[in-house]
């Protein structure tokens, strides 16, 4: 449950697109893997890299990204699973102290010792931009924040992409509830200021909304409105899939906040990142893309020297 419960091993660059000083560096670390279980961690880390490579918009950003794997072994397998959130009560001695029920109420909230993770990541890769911890547990869970975490549950890759959205790109949750769609106190209507997340807004005015340049003229604004703020909006998508607009219900509130598309990976798993989220990702990683390889023009061929003939002077 502390750094005495394991050790830090080698660092391996599993995706190499250039020097760390000029690329966007993702660092993957493991927790709850015993020394004998590190091969399973290696496979999961490679799966993360492979998934990223084939997921838009990372497909077009791939040459900007380096992925590093840090081998961290723990004394015991798994993670803490407190009974307070309906867990098994298991307590595991792991290097980063991974635990479900990180906030004391929601079991799926999987957290780690952030300070220790960042210290190890920056020691291994001083130019690191983003750290993700893979936790050796089949229980569904993950979290975003200063560090992203994800368990080895079957949905791990989708959860990992969602949590990466939070940690690496500052994207907010787009779902419209905290624990459930009914019976929640304080989640009916948002009344605060403009949220910081690039994918949330309280402004449905097409002339001033954050993502106005992505909206097709003539799109209804707001695109959906919740008629009953005491619960989540149950209406189906009224527009074509991929339409950017202002859809009410986001950021844990039934009303008062809008998301850019009806569906998005930041709202529900197994959806692509919406256009608004993709724009935020592109703006973060895009500057690390190497220059485009333009075909070098062949140097102009040397012109043949004109043969000069000596003219006989007429006498």
Sign for the pseudo-dihedral over CA of 195, 200, 201, 202: negative
Rounded to an integer, what distance in angstroms lies between the CA atom of residue 46 and that of residue 233?
39
Indicate if the pLDDT at residue 306 is higher than 50: no
Using CA atoms, how far residue 282 sits from 59, 130, 263, 267, 286, in Å, is: 11, 15, 19, 19, 5
DSSP state of 155: T
CA 39-44-45 angle, 5° bins: 95
pLDDT tens, position by position, 233-274: 999 999 999 999 999 999 999 999 999 999 999 999 999 999
pTM: 0.90
pLDDT tens, position by position, 3-46: 899 999 999 999 999 999 999 999 999 999 999 999 999 999 99
Give the DSSP H or E segment for 7: strand 6-15
Asked which of 47-51, 103-107, 202-206 is least confident by mean pLDDT, the reply is 103-107
Residue 2: per-residue pLDDT: 73
Contact 170, 196 (CB under 8 A): yes
- Map out the domains of the chain with their CATH numbers: 6-169 (3.40.390.10), 173-271 (no CATH)
Residue 142: per-residue pLDDT: 98
Rounded to an integer, what distance in angstroms lies between the CA atom of residue 287 and that of residue 2?
38
Rounded to an integer, what distance in angstroms lies between the CA atom of residue 73 and that of residue 136?
11
């Amino acid at each position: 449950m502390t750094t005495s419960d394991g050790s830090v091993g080698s660092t391996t660059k599993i995706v190499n697109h250039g020097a760390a000083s000029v690329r966007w560096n993702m660092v993957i670390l493991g927790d709850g893997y015993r020394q004998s279980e590190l091969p399973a961690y290696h496979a999961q880390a490679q799966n993360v890299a492979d998934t990223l490579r084939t997921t838009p918009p990372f497909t077009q950003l791939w040459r900007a990204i380096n992925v590093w794997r840090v081998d961290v072994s723990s004394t015991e397998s798994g993670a803490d699973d407190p009974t307070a959130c309906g867990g098994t009560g298991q307590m595991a001695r792991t290097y980063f102290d991974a635990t479900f029920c990180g906030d004391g109420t929601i079991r799926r909230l999987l957290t780690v010792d952030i300070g220790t993770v960042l210290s190890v990541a920056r020691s291994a890769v001083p130019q690191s931009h983003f750290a993700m911890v893979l936790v050796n547990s089949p229980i569904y869970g993950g979290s975003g924040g200063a560090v992203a975490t994800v368990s080895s549950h079957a949905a791990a890759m989708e959860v990992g992409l969602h949590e990466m959205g939070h940690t690496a790109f500052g994207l907010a949750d787009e779902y419209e509830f905290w624990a459930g769609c009914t019976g929640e106190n304080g989640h009916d209507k948002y009344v605060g200021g403009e949220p910081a997340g690039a994918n949330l807004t309280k402004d449905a005015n097409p002339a001033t909304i954050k993502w106005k340049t992505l909206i097709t003229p003539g799109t209804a604004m707001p695109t959906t409105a919740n008629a009953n703020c005491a619960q989540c909006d149950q209406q189906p998508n009224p527009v074509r899939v991929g339409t950017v607009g202002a859809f009410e219900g986001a950021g844990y509130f039934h009303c008062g906040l809008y998301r850019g598309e009806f569906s998005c990976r930041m709202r529900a798993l197994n959806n692509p990142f919406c256009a608004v989220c993709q724009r935020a990702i592109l703006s973060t990683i895009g500057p690390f893309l190497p220059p485009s390889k333009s075909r070098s023009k062949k140097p102009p061929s040397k012109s043949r020297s004109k043969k000069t003939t000596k003219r006989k002077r007429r006498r």
